[in-house]
Copies of this chain bind each other. A is one copy, B any other.
């Protein structure tokens, strides 16, 4: 079967010099991989005309698809567009369609359209215009004499991701039609990659050659991605679904959802279905838990609110944690998280409440309670429970992982 070869070019001094981390190239090549397109090279270069032009030249030689990010801003150090025009012996021209979209965007943000911004509506005359709903720099699609497709996108991650998913990938599929690829995911929480492998490793060995299994880990969560390749799509879908059904029973209790569903989405789905409402009482997570729950559209149907009780006074005066408890047991203790959950449930009038209190670090640790000591609480009409976890020394990781662990505690009680 025909293979599509992609070449990713990241443009920008701030990335080349390591001032900021480039997450775009990794995200793009993972998306291409899912779509059955092979990334052959990833190249990062600076805001330098000759570098950009020679990179275009090399990329065109050995690839079918050249994906370019960065260098599309309105300032003079943004060179991608002029370089594209020069490389294709074309010139930049104001594109009506682009200018109208740009004006509308600025009207919506009720900001004034500066002359510099207007220049963003200039495109090479032979370019296909890819509308960017997320920002001011449009995507640009051009095809070379050798039929290599060049796509230029802004470097701002959420703008690039929108363009890749909504504009570029559909066009690419139309243009190249790769062999069918079918993905299914089993999403698990609360078990590590290697333990999962202990459980399903044997079954994995028995998979047919055209179905591959990949472990996709992130803090607290592992997604099992089954990828089937073949010509007959309906048959392939059937096969991959059957495979997923065979793996399920082995790891049932760790599964929270399938495919693109996130843990917070799965929890929202179940809460909505059961008609239950929830609140959070947060100390060490500092609002991250509520933020994660409310990142889901429609979460207002089941999430009523949160009290971030960072100080002990707030724990006592707002959530009603007993002063003696904090004095005797400390703010990071089983009794405190239990009383926080109970208090939040009462104050915010919900069916369920979950709570967190821990030492995120870097400061605040002690011999008995080192940095990474975390307590989680859960309360509903029938029970109040607490769970202790011991994490590492990194503040950001501790906050992130505690958030997932609290959602997992909730999942165990409602799923």
A contacts, CB < 8 Å to B: 13-23, 25-33, 39-47, 51, 58, 73-75, 77, 105, 108-111, 114, 116-117, 133-134, 156, 158, 162, 192-195, 197-198, 214-218, 225, 280, 282, 285-291, 293-295, 297-300, 303-311, 313-314, 317-318, 347-349, 361-364, 372, 390-397, 399
Contact = CB atoms under 8 A, between A and B. Distances in A.
Given A286-B294, A304-B310, A304-B314, A40 B30 contact: no
Contacts of A19: 30, 33, 214, 216, 225
Q: Give the interface SS of chain A, mostly helix, strand, loop or mixed.
A: mixed
B287 A397 contact: no
B18 A216 contact: no
Given A19-B225, A305-B310, A391 B109 contact: yes
A46 to B, nearest CB: 7
Copies of this chain, how many?
2
A116 B191 CA distance: 14
A308 B156 CA distance: 29
Give the top 8 A-B pairs by smallest Cβ distance, nearest first.
Answer: A286-B294, A18-B30, A287-B290, A287-B287, A18-B29, A42-B44, A306-B308, A116-B194
A374 to B, nearest CB: 11
Given A16-B42, A75-B194, 7 more contacts: A14-B214, A18-B27, A18-B29, A19-B225, A286-B291, A305-B318, A313-B349
Contact of A397 (B31, B134, B303, B393): B134
12 contacts: A18-B29, A18-B30, A19-B214, A41-B45, A75-B215, A109-B392, A114-B198, A116-B197, A287-B289, A288-B291, A290-B310, A295-B399
A70 to B, nearest CB: 11
A391 B347 CA distance: 32
A158 B193 contact: no
Contact of A156 (B109, B217, B298, B364): B217
A108 B372 contact: yes
A395 B296 CA distance: 9
Nearest to A107: B390
A355 to B, nearest CB: 13
Contacts of A303: 286, 310
Most buried by B among A114, A298, A300: A300
B25 A44 contact: yes
B294 A291 contact: no
Nearest to A319: B305
A395 B43 contact: no
A242 to B, nearest CB: 22
Nearest to A197: B75
B77 A214 contact: yes
A286 B297 contact: no
A26 B30 contact: no
A280 B309 CA distance: 11
Contacts of A216: 14, 19-20
A298 B347 CA distance: 28
Contacts of A396: 158, 295
Contact of A300 (B27, B41, B310): B310
A47 B43 CA distance: 16
Given A193-B73, A194-B74, A108 B33 contact: no
B217 A73 contact: yes
Most buried by B among A77, A297, A310: A310
B392 A108 contact: yes
B310 A294 contact: yes
A398 to B, nearest CB: 11
B291 A77 contact: no
A388 to B, nearest CB: 10
Contact of A304 (B108, B134, B192, B313): B313
Contacts of A28: 18
A304 B29 CA distance: 43
